[in-house]
Structure 1
Amino acid sequence: MTTYAALLRGINVGGSKKLPMADLRTLMTGLGHDGVRTHLQSGQAVFTTDHGDEESLAAELARAIEERFGFPVDVIVRDHAYLRAVAEACPFPAAELEARQLHLTYFSAPVTPERFAGIDPDAHLPEEFRLGDRCLYLYAPQGLGRSKLAEVLSRRSTKGVIATSRNWNTVLKLVELTTPLG
């Protein structure tokens, strides 16, 4: 059995796409997943399964959500090993920063530096970003809500791939929740 995190994009935000976490847990259990748990209301679910891969699991869950709740939701599924590796590879001093200052955008597919080549990094200092393995690390000292760089990055990162961001506390919590027992 492999432990995964499902990252749902854009649910329970601003009154739209309401998806109660209890209903999500029931739906995922009905799909045959074990140990389904959710974290916060913003669309993180942890589960174990011995069938499928990240892409097929994400597609299956997205279809089931649309059928059950009547609206489309983008879903990214990642296993514990990936989540841990991405957290450990953080190019910023995460332990020294507040969680609101560091964010990770997960991508459904690899993105190349060329996608972001037109962004002048000096124009957004002290904000910075770095690409990782199907992810982007964003250091925003004033938080995501005030980040000009986040606005620019989001316009570039969403072309042709699913992208969903989490603050550093959530990144670490997903690593913890997907850690295999025993």
Structure 2
Amino acid sequence: MTRYCAFFESLIVGGDRLSMADLRYAFAREELENAETVISSGNVLFDYEDRPTEGLEDLLAYLMRDRFDMGAFVAVRNRAEIRAAVEENPFVGSEDTFVHSVLLERQPTKQQFGRLVGDHGSIGAERLALGDRCLFVDFGGPMSESPLTMAFIEKRLGSRGAARNVRTLARIVAKM
């Protein structure tokens, strides 16, 4: 069995939308074992047979639609992939609460990344770099105050994503 983390975007676990007990039950029915939320409610650790994480993303997207009528995007990564999202981020070491890795559903082309950088230049001072199915962003301040939104990023990259700061990702790696 391999330990994975599902990073849900726009999902409230434990609130009014979805209980952890219901989520654990749904994971168990799909043979996704030992499900537990970690750090914040949109991160779920679980065990499953070793397989490419893209297939698990499809499975969890189906599970959320089928069981809960929710269309939440989910990025799934194993421990090595999460560690890479921290260690390969060129902005780590500045104010890490403002440094994020956006876990993407697919690898953008160089042209898509170029469009993002070009279009972004007119709206903000955030620093951007491209990784493996990952966009590295130094927001230089709170992400919520940035003009660089997930909708802006996703439209230009042609890929949905789930953003987490590198401190959160490092804590998840340690927990795994």
TM range (shorter): 0.7 to 0.9
Q: Which runs of 5+ in 2 are unaligned?
A: none
- Work out whether 1:163 is the aligned partner of 2:127: no
User: What letter matches 1:143 in structure 2?
Assistant: P
Give 4+ residue runs of structure 1 displaced > 6 Å after superposition: none
Whole-angstrom distance in 1 between the partners of 2:26 and 2:76: 16
Q: Counterpart in 1 of 2:85?
A: 86
TM-score w.r.t. the length of structure 2 is 0.83
Q: Counterpart in 1 of 2:108?
A: 111
Q: Counterpart in 2 of 1:63?
A: 62
SS at match of 1:109: coil
TM-score w.r.t. the length of structure 1 is 0.81
Cα deviation per residue 1:114-168 (whole Å; 9 max; x = unaligned)? 11323336545642111111100111112111212346434313x2x33111122
User: What letter matches 2:110 in structure 1?
Assistant: P
Q: Is the 8 A contact 2:101 2:163 kept in 1?
A: yes
CA shift at 1:32, angstroms?
A: 1.3
Superposition RMSD in Å: 2.4
Sequence identity, in percent? Answer: 28
Whole-angstrom distance in 2 between the partners of 1:46 and 1:32: 13
User: What letter matches 2:52 in structure 1?
Assistant: D
The 1:139–1:6 alpha-carbon spacing in structure 2 relative to 1, beyond 3 Å, is: same
**Equivalent residue runs for 1:101-180 within 5 Å:** 101-118=98-115, 119-120=117-118, 123=122, 126-150=125-149, 152-157=152-157, 159=158, 161-178=159-176
Q: Counterpart in 2 of 1:30?
A: 29
Q: Which moved more, 1:64-73 or 1:105-114?
A: 64-73
How many residues of Structure 1 are paired with residues of Structure 2 in the alignment? 172
Whole-angstrom distance in 1 between the partners of 2:155 and 2:109: 15
Q: Is the 8 A contact 2:85 2:101 kept in 1?
A: no
SS at match of 2:93: helix
Whole-angstrom distance in 1 between the partners of 2:124 and 2:62: 41
Q: Is the 8 A contact 2:24 2:35 kept in 1?
A: yes
CA shift at 1:175, angstroms?
A: 1.5
Whole-angstrom distance in 1 between the partners of 2:149 and 2:63: 31
Q: Which runs of 5+ in 1 are unaligned?
A: none
Whole-angstrom distance in 1 between the partners of 2:74 and 2:95: 28
CA shift at 1:84, angstroms?
A: 0.9
SS at match of 1:43: strand
